[in-house]
C-alpha cells in the first residue's frame, strides 16, 4: 500500500517551515482507495515567493484547520503504507517536524519518485516534476498546489511501476515488510487479488519471484495454484508468501510481459520457453515480375519475409483464411481445397501479366495486414481503467515496448509514445506473438504512425 503525498509549505528557515496544504492519495498498486486533501493554517507567515508560486495567501488560510486538527486523519490514511513523494526527503521531513511539534514520533517508510525516475528514466532532460510529466505526456493541472502535484506524482509512479521490469520496487518493499515469514493465509492472498487481466508474481519470504504467469483473471488463476494437486502446486503452496499483480488491461501486453520477464528473471519454478516459439513459417519470395511464391517450410529454412506458425496445419489454415478473405485462387497459394463460390467470389489466379500483378498486390495486402515487416504502428487496446488505453509500439517492424495513455494526442505522437513506453526487446518470438495474436483477434486498433525523423 502506498500513500502518494504532496505538501505545500510556507517556506522560511530550515525546520521552521509549516504545512499550509496537504494532499494524500492512498494507492493499493491498482487504484486509489482513499484520499485526503486540505488547506492547513500554519500559524505562521507565508514567504512572498511561496505566495507567488502557489497562489495561496494568509487570508485563504485563516479559517483552515490547524495541523493538530488534521493530524489524526493523516496518521490513519498513511497507516501501513509507504509514503511516495517527488523529493520525498523534503515532504517527509516537513511532516515529521509538524508531528514532532505535537510530541508525536511519526515514522513511515518512503519512496522518492525523483530517485526512481533517475534510475528508470535516465535519459530524461529534467527530473523536476513539471518538466518530467510534461515530457511524458502526462496531463497536469494546478501545478504547485498539493492535490495537482499529488495526482501528477501518482500518474508518474504508476508509469515507474510499469517500467520497473526488474521489480526492484516491489522486491524491496516485500523484503522490508516481510521480516522473514509473512503471516497472511493463502485465502487472504487470493482475496486481495483482482479478477482482471495482467501478470501475477509469486514471491518467497525474501521477496524473490519464484513463479510468474499471464492471466485474464488473477484471482481465479492464483486460487487454482493454491488448490491444485501436483508437484509444482505443492511447491508454490509451501514457498509462496506473497503474490503481487500488475494489471495490463490488454491480453497481448500480458503475453509479451510474461515472455520478456520469464527470460529476465528466470523464476525457479517456471518452465522457461524453448528458444523458438514457432516451428514453421510461410516464406514470401519474389523474383522480378514473376508471382510472389508462398512456401511452408520448417523454421530453420526461414527467409527475411515470413510469418511464423506452430506447425503445418496452422499455416495451412492461414492460407485458407487469406484465400477467402482476399479472393485468391487457392491453387495460386500452393494448396488444394474446395472453396464455395458464395464465400470466395471470383478467385484470382495468375494466368497472364495483369492477373500476376493483381495477385502480387493481394499478397502485399496480406503482408500489410498480418505481418509487421517494415511497419511503424501502434496497437491500441483496452487500458487498466476507464478512459485509459494501452498501446504496443512497433517501429520499422520491431517491437519497441508498451505503455498507457489517456489522451489521443499521446497515442498519435510517436515522440511521446517513445518517451512513455516500457521498453521491450524485439526478436523473432515477439514478432510471432504479435502476428499470431493479430490473426486471431480483430478488436485491436492498428494505428499507422509516421516514423520520427
Instruction: Please give the chain's pLDDT, 453 residues, in tens.
Output: 899 999 999 988 777 789 999 999 999 888 899 999 999 999 888 999 999 899 999 889 989 999 999 999 999 999 989 999 998 888 888 898 889 889 888 888 888 888 888 888 888 888 899 888 888 888 888 888 999 999 999 999 988 888 877 777 766 665 454 433 333 567 778 878 899 999 999 999 899 999 999 999 998 899 888 877 678 888 998 899 899 999 999 999 999 999 999 998 999 999 876 788 888 989 887 666 678 888 888 887 777 778 999 899 999 999 998 888 888 877 777 665 544 443 444 455 555 555 788 888 888 898 888 999 889 999 999 999 888 999 999 999 999 999 998 877 677 788 888 888 999 999 999 999 999 999 988 778 988 887 654
Give the integer Cα–Cα distance in Å for 402 and 413: 14
Q: What is the structure's pLDDT at 21? A: 93
Q: What is the structure's pLDDT at 154? A: 93
Alpha helix stretches (DSSP H) within 164-250: 168-178, 186-191, 218-227, 231-239
Give the integer Cα–Cα distance in Å for 105 and 101: 10
Q: Specify which residues 392 forms β-bridges with.
A: 379, 402
Give the integer Cα–Cα distance in Å for 381 and 364: 25
Q: What is the structure's pLDDT at 190? A: 82
**H/E stretch holding 209:** strand 209-215
Give the integer Cα–Cα distance in Å for 295 and 312: 11
How many alpha carbons fall within 13 Å on the CB side of residue 437? 21
Q: What is the structure's pLDDT at 179? A: 38
Q: What is the structure's pLDDT at 299? A: 83
Q: What is the structure's pLDDT at 270? A: 92
Give the integer Cα–Cα distance in Å for 212 and 201: 4
CA distances from residue 100 to 105, 111, 332, 360 in whole angstroms, order as listed = 6, 21, 82, 78
Give the integer Cα–Cα distance in Å for 54 and 23: 14
| Closest-CA residue to 254 (of 212, 202, 199, 194) | 199
pTM of the predicted structure, to 2 decimals: 0.70
Give the integer Cα–Cα distance in Å for 104 and 131: 36
Q: Is the dihedral of CA 46, 51, 56, 62 positive or negative?
A: positive
Query: Cell 514473376 belongs to which residue?
Result: 290
The grid coordinates of residue 213 equal 504467469
CB 295 within 8 A of CB 282: yes
| Burial letters 360-398, b for 16+ CB under 10 A, else e | bebbeebbeebbbbebbbbbbbbbbeeeebbbbbbbeeb
Amino acid at each position: 500500500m502506498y500513500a502518494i503525498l504532496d505538501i505545500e509549505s510556507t517556506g522560511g528557515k530550515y525546520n521552521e517551515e509549516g504545512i499550509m496544504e496537504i494532499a494524500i492519495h492512498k494507492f493499493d498498486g491498482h487504484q486509489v482507495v482513499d484520499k485526503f486533501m486540505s488547506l492547513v493554517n500554519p500559524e505562521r507567515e507565508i514567504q512572498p515567493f511561496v505566495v507567488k508560486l502557489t497562489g495561496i495567501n494568509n487570508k485563504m488560510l485563516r479559517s483552515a484547520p490547524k495541523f493538530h486538527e488534521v493530524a489524526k486523519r493523516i496518521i490513519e490514511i498513511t497507516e501501513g503504507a509507504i509514503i511516495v513523494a517527488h523529493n520525498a526527503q523534503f515532504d517527509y521531513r516537513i511532516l515529521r517536524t509538524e508531528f514532532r511539534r505535537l510530541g508525536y514520533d511519526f515514522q513511515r517508510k518512503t519512496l522518492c519518485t525523483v530517485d526512481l525516475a533517475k534510475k528508470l528514466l535516465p535519459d530524461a532532460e529534467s527530473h523536476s516534476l513539471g518538466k518530467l510529466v510534461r515530457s511524458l505526456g502526462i496531463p497536469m493541472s494546478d501545478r504547485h498546489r498539493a492535490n495537482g502535484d499529488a495526482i501528477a506524482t501518482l500518474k508518474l509512479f504508476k508509469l515507474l511501476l510499469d517500467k520497473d521490469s526488474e521489480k526492484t520496487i516491489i522486491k524491496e518493499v516485500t523484503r522490508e515488510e516481510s521480516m522473514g515469514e509473512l503471516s497472511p493465509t493463502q485465502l487472504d492472498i487470493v482475496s486481495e487479488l483482482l479478477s482482471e487481466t495482467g501478470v501475477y508474481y509469486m514471491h518467497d519470504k525474501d521477496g524473490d519471484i519464484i513463479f510468474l504467469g499471464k492471466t485474464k483473471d488473477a484471482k481465479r488463476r492464483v486460487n487454482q495454484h493454491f488448490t491444485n494437486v501436483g508437484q509444482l502446486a505443492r511447491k508454490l503452496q509451501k514457498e509462496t508468501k506473497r503474490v503481487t499483480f500488475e494489471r495490463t488491461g490488454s491480453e497481448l501486453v500480458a503475453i509479451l510481459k510474461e515472455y520478456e520477464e520469464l527470460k529476465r528473471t528466470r523464476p525457479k519454478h517456471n518452465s522457461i520457453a524453448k528458444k523458438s516459439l514457432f516451428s514453421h513459417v510461410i516464406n514470401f519470395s519474389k523474383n522480378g515480375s514473376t508471382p510472389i511464391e508462398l512456401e511452408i517450410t520448417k523454421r530453420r529454412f526461414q527467409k527475411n519475409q515470413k510469418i511464423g506458425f506452430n506447425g503445418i496445419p496452422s499455416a495451412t489454415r492461414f492460407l485458407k483464411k487469406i484465400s477467402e478473405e482476399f479472393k485468391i485462387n487457392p491453387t495460386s497459394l500452393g494448396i488444394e481445397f474446395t472453396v464455395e463460390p458464395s464465400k470466395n467470389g471470383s478467385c484470382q489466379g495468375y494466368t497472364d501479366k495483369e492477373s500476376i500483378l493483381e495477385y502480387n498486390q493481394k499478397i502485399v495486402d496480406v503482408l500489410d495486414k498480418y505481418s509487421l515487416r517494415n511497419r511503424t504502428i501502434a496497437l491500441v487496446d483496452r487500458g487498466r481503467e476507464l478512459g485509459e488505453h494501452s498501446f504496443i509500439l512497433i517501429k520499422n517492424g520491431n517491437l519497441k515496448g508498451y505503455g498507457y495513455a489517456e489522451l489521443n494526442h499521446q497515442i498519435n505522437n510517436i515522440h511521446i509514445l517513445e518517451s512513455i513506453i516500457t521498453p521491450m526487446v524485439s526478436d523473432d518470438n515477439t514478432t510471432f506473438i504479435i502476428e499470431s495474436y493479430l490473426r486471431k483477434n480483430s478488436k485491436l486498433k492498428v494505428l499507422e504512425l509516421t516514423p520520427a525523423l
